[in-house]
Structure 1
């Protein structure tokens, strides 16, 4: 798995996870998906890791499922539908859940095409940035006659709208990174040359931050998507009650009073 998913932890506690099947535009086979799951298991359990960057090797981020078979442990007598469902149950869905539920902030740096399930994977991070040459393509409906998956059917309508999600998925048009930024699908775009440097700046800033609070921000916004204002105000109250009793808040207050930058690392 180390060959198809590269991991590197720097001195600031930033883990860079790189999809490494550039010859297939980092298509999702069994080995790669399990490698991503393993990398995010490490991110969740290793206290030295404080933030994560997910990106792709080569000229593409991820072209979606490996349609040549992908090495999934399927039974020979299974239909195409049964095999697809199995890959989702044992691999694709757990992978997305691992990323979304990672207790460390996740920056997805989209370095090229993100197509099909690769678009879903691209949108799984807490902060999404992209190179100017990147593009998103939902090929499910117009080319394959299936629905969006790997989380894309949830991310796209929630981040954009039902109308734009339908148009992208049913017509399969390319969505450029700059248009995706304009529409609000991602945070910012950068030149191809600057993408990883900018990703590292963002991830390092979050690694220096109060990571529990940063992830709580993400969860609060996700909760708001399915809540009334009244329910969300109650959610805010419950969450602030916990966070305001936690060490990072106390450190932040002390730093403000002492006119210094807060140090959120190694707090007890």
Structure 2
């Protein structure tokens, strides 16, 4: 399938804040695109990301997403030049405006965790503050040696607990490591990120996108329903309180999955030595 690249609708500026690319069948790349600011977060970038994720939700052909940054940064956190005002917000009161900004940022994080298809973050440089939260919200993180991770919030007089990181990090790297990173605000280099589980693997910078696309391709080759249910159940299991409850959730999901016809098709394809034609591929 030929590449199909376009911009997520995010305003009238000459350079869109988020680019949407289709490099291969079933794979969508979302590229944060403010390279001169290391893809720092402002209202335009968040609007563009929310629009792009909404587009993925509507695209029944999409099987996996790769999230990355233009230039030498992934996302350097909040833009110190100013955030702006969330789209559609017109309340002049300071408290209401600041709370709207907080909800706007939080929506970008949860839009990734709740997306029906998996997200692979290709972290090509600094991921700080909100940028680290976006990377943590992905299902898989592949990073280059230039990648760094910094919670950052505590360094500017705020609580280190922001944008879901106080929930995500302990589950990802353990409570002790998470507390240290959030209390000190120190920067984690790529090698350490891989060692502590913050990154799934570290690859050469010139191989980063290819590796992320390869991983996305492995996901896209599986049953669309099976992948969707795997992501949904895995995220739900982070909130389930017991093995019994977790297994009951799995049991119901597995029975539901037998009704797609994909199990029968997988067995037939194996016997016939061909690639399966999944039920979702017929849509």
- Deviation, 1:125, is 1.2
Secondary structure, counterpart of 1:61 in structure 2: coil
TM, length-normalised to structure 2? 0.87
- Deviation, 1:225, is 2.3
* More displaced stretch, 33-42 vs 58-67: 58-67
Query: Is 2:258 the partner of 1:244?
Result: yes
Measure the CA separation in 2 of the matches of 1:139 and 1:162.
Answer: 18
Asked which structure has the greater RCO (Cα within 8 Å, sep 6+), the reply is 1
- Deviation, 1:55, is 0.3
Tell me which residue corresponds to 1:116: 129
Query: Is 2:255 the partner of 1:231?
Result: no
Q: How does 1:139-218 map to 2 (within 5 A)?
A: 139-218=152-231
The number of residue pairs the alignment matches comes to: 265
Specify which of 63, 67, 75 is matched with residue 62 of structure 1: 75
Q: How does 1:29-48 map to 2 (within 5 A)?
A: 29-48=42-61
- Deviation, 1:138, is 0.9
Query: Is 2:25 the partner of 1:12?
Result: yes
Measure the CA separation in 1 of the matches of 2:128 and 2:268.
Answer: 47
Secondary structure, counterpart of 1:98 in structure 2: helix
| Structure 1 residue runs without a partner (length 5+) | none
Measure the CA separation in 2 of the matches of 1:266 and 1:151.
Answer: 34
- Deviation, 1:196, is 0.5
Tell me which residue corresponds to 1:78: 94
Contact 2:116 2:231 in 1 (8 A): no
Contact 2:153 2:160 in 1 (8 A): yes
Contact 2:117 2:231 in 1 (8 A): no
Secondary structure, counterpart of 2:160 in structure 1: coil
TM, length-normalised to structure 1? 0.92
RMSD between superposed Cα atoms in Å: 1.8
- Deviation, 1:75, is 4.6
| Structure 2 residue runs without a partner (length 5+) | 1-9
* More displaced stretch, 3-12 vs 254-263: 254-263
* More displaced stretch, 62-71 vs 16-25: 62-71
- Deviation, 1:163, is 1.4
